Amino acid sequence: MRLTDHEYNRLLLLKKLRAHEPVSRTDLIGLTGLTGGTITAITAQLLAQGLIIEERSPDRGTGRPRMDLRLNPRDRYVIGTTLTAEGKLLTQIVNLRGECIESHVDEMPPATRFADLAANVARALAGVLEKSGVQRGAIYRAGVGLPGVVDHHRGVVTYIASFESGAFPFAAAVESALGIPTLVDNNTNLLARAEYWFGAGGLSDDFTLLAVDLGIGAALYKSGQLVTGAHGIEAEFGHIKIVPDAGRACHCGGAGCLQTYCSISAVIEQYCLREGVEMPGILSMRGFFRELMVRYAAGDRTIESLLMEACRYLGIAVANHITMQDPETIVVLGPDLPNFPALRSAFASSLSRSVYPSLRRRTRVHFRVKDDQNYARGAVALALERVFAER
């Protein structure tokens, strides 16, 4: 969903203010590239709405004292929550500066219907708010992340593994039960938002995030905005065809999908087939994978060959993405792996052989260990992003 010029300018101004506060209006002209008149109009609106506050700058000598602007840290909040693949709900309440004032983890009761899940999420969020003492009227937005296929524009979820099939208006259901305007998006998009809003720093406005987990996900930022398709669906990077002829069967109905070679579940499945052991259930996969990493560190050749294969195929897929999109930076989030330099070398060699020559070595690639709290931070970033752009 494309922002209007006013929404984009407002979002840009608030992002720069958040990164550099306290700042003057004159500072914002240089930071944003917007005209003085535009800065004056937007800041007047933000002051009237209570999103920012004005404070006198420390005395710098004679002359009229400068008035600086800051985000309002009091009485205005957003709440964000994410359902993990293990059935946990990770929730944070933050102020407009992104400072966390409440963090909570809930175990969700089993559900296979989207309506039941929405009711459970709304009930859990209400409980977190009650414990925090924050009034619902002080919450601008709620952001919800789900491990499935989500139409972010309409707030509709269409697929989560083990759930009923069909589209369900998830955001509207939570909003109706909770009484707070609600947004919903896919978990991978939330990881990208967490990187952009709360990451270690250094990211440009143009980057791609790849999430290597039980599946493979991706999200793309361009000009400081998360890019989604015309239908609001997140990028299904895991389902690009990396071995189109006689490739492994995928649950999507296709064959040769990237995630059938590079995901944690694919590595586990191939290991079980080669070693003749029983495939673990979905809730046991991460624990089983940690056991495999212990074996890999001890020199298990089967798991080593599977991980090397996964890195080579991932390198080819990333090379194709760089050739097509030319991102400035790629962030790869994944599990903590032993003997990582050897795996990174296999990835880098495959990427270098496959990428378009003039783009080789221009895109920076960073590897980071995934932190589940990034999901909750991404959910609050989803809510902050909407508040900053639209109020």
Q: Rounded distance, CA 37 to CA 66, Å? A: 18
Q: Do domains 5-71 and 201-368 have the same CATH topology?
A: no
Which residues are 89's β-sheet partners? 83, 106
Which residues are 100's β-sheet partners? 94
Radius of gyration of the chain (CA): 23
Q: What is the CATH number of domain 5-71?
A: 1.10.10.10
Q: Looking at residue 205, what is its pLDDT? A: 82
Q: Does residue 172 contact residue 203 with C-beta atoms inside 8 Å?
A: no
Q: Looking at residue 165, what is its pLDDT? A: 86
Q: For every one of its 391 residues, what pLDDT tens digit does the chain have, with 9 covering 90 and above? A: 567 889 889 988 998 898 889 999 999 999 999 999 999 999 999 999 889 999 887 765 556 677 899 999 888 899 999 988 778 899 999 999 889 999 999 999 989 999 999 999 999 999 999 999 999 999 999 999 998 889 988 999 998 888 988 999 999 999 999 999 999 999 999 999 998 888 755 557 889 999 999 999 999 998 888 888 776 666 789 999 999 888 999 988 899 999 999 999 999 999 999 999 999 998 899 999 999 999 999 999 999 999 999 999 999 999 999 999 999 999 999 999 999 999 999 999 999 999 998 888 889 999 999 888 888 999 999 999 888 887 6
Q: 3-state secondary structure string, the chain?
A: CCCCHHHHHHHHHHHHHHHHCCECHHHHHHHHCCCHHHHHHHHHHHHHHCCEEEEECCCCCCCCCCEEEEECCCCCEEEEEEECCCCEEEEEEEECCCCEEEEEEEECCCCCCHHHHHHHHHHHHHHHHHHHCCCHHHEEEEEEEECCEEECCCCEEEECCCCCCCCECHHHHHHHHHCCCEEEEEHHHHHHHHHHHHCCCCCCCCEEEEEECCCEEEEEEECCEEECCCCCECCCHHHCECCCCCCCECCCCCECECHHHHCHHHHHHHHHHHHCCCCCCHHHHHHHHHHHHHHHHCCCHHHHHHHHHHHHHHHHHHHHHHHHHCCCEEEEEECCCCCHHHHHHHHHHHHHHHCCHHHCCCCEEEEEECCCHHHHHHHHHHHHHHHHHHC
CATH topology of domain 77-195+374-390: Nucleotidyltransferase; domain 5 (3.30.420)
Q: Rounded distance, CA 318 to CA 338, Å? A: 22
Q: Where are the domains of the chain?
A: 5-71, 77-195+374-390, 201-368
Burial label for 227, CB within 10 Å (0-12, 13-18, 19+), is middle
Q: Rounded distance, CA 260 to CA 238, Å? A: 8
Q: Looking at residue 228, what is its pLDDT? A: 80
- The CATH number of domain 201-368 is 3.40.50.300: no
